[in-house]
Amino acid sequence: MIALLDPPVITIDGPSGSGKGTIARKVANALDFHLLDSGALYRLVAIAAKKNGIALTDCDALALLARDLDIRFDSNNKLSEKVFMDDIDVTLEVRKESTGAQASVVAGLTEVRLALLGRQRAFQVPPGLVADGRDMGTNVFPSAAIKVFLTAGAEVRAKRRHKQLKDQGVDVNLAALSRDIKGRDERDSSRLVAPLKPAKNARILDSSELSIETVTNTVLEWVAEL
């Protein structure tokens, strides 16, 4: 039997505010690849938990919820994506800072991560996939063609997120936001299961001083070298 090659995967992992969501979308658009925003899955579990009155410590109930989530990403629009749960548009709720903080808590549960593993791998379909998250290169797609670990200084990341929220009309205090991001990074990096860390063969890219265009082009050059 002829073994068919798996569609190529490019993983982009990194901490909050490193720009991985923006870069992943631009790289996916340039290559006409599919896009997996894995953080959105953890965010959706947190939203569904709240809706169903499930505590963020109830591993078994949360794992069931994660397994059975009825979700849909509408990527017709290449600039941004709409997220639906049970056919209801939950895009705004998914993007809230409070949802991100709750997602970071459920993401620490092995049972939830396992329940989402297959769902994430199902995104690997032709012509290829760009996957962004925290453990795309280490756990979900260990044999990805290119693994990028995108970083940026903590202050730069907080300022970027602050501007992003301001542009969306959300007024938050920069110092409080900076504290929240730090707390989330610490939780994501220190957890026992699939912590945020670069894969052994990841290419580390510090975007603190780089434009979105430069980072995107750097990743696309790596792809062209394949």
149 touches ligand DC (CB under 6 A)? no
Q: Closest Cα partner for 10 from 177, 201, 157?
A: 201
Q: Which of 96/203 has CB closer to ligand DC?
A: 96
Give the residue nearest to ligand DC (CB): 39
Instruction: Give the DSSP H or E segment for 204.
Output: strand 203-206
φ, ψ (nearest 5 deg) of residue 123? -75, -10
CB burial of residue 132 (10 Å; 0-12, 13-18, 19+):
buried
Q: Which of 70/186 has CB closer to ligand DC?
A: 186
43 touches ligand DC (CB under 6 A)? yes
Q: How far apart are CA 154 and CA 225, in angstroms?
A: 31
137 touches ligand DC (CB under 6 A)? no
Minimal distance in Å, beta carbon 215 to ligand DC?
A: 16
Minimal distance in Å, beta carbon 42 to ligand DC?
A: 4
Q: Using CB under 6 A, which of 33, 133, 177, 216 touches ligand DC? A: 133
Distance of CA 195 to the CA centre of its chain: 13
Cα distances from 91 to residues 47, 51, 55, 155, in angstroms, run 11, 15, 22, 27
Minimal distance in Å, beta carbon 76 to ligand DC?
A: 21
38 touches ligand DC (CB under 6 A)? yes
For the chain, the 3-state helix, strand and coil shares in percent, each to the nearest 5, are 50, 15, 35
23 touches ligand DC (CB under 6 A)? no
Q: Using CB under 6 A, which of 16, 22, 138, 207 touches ligand DC? A: 16
Cis peptide upstream of residue 127 (ω within 30 degrees of 0): yes
Instruction: Give the DSSP H or E segment for 24.
Output: helix 20-31
Instruction: Give the DSSP H or E segment for 35.
Output: strand 34-37
Minimal distance in Å, beta carbon 1 to ligand DC?
A: 33
107 touches ligand DC (CB under 6 A)? yes
Q: Which of 107/115 has CB closer to ligand DC?
A: 107
Q: Using CB under 6 A, which of 11, 18, 22, 104 touches ligand DC? A: 104
39 touches ligand DC (CB under 6 A)? yes
Binding site for ligand DC (CB under 6 A): 16, 38-39, 42-43, 100, 103-104, 107, 133-135, 184, 188
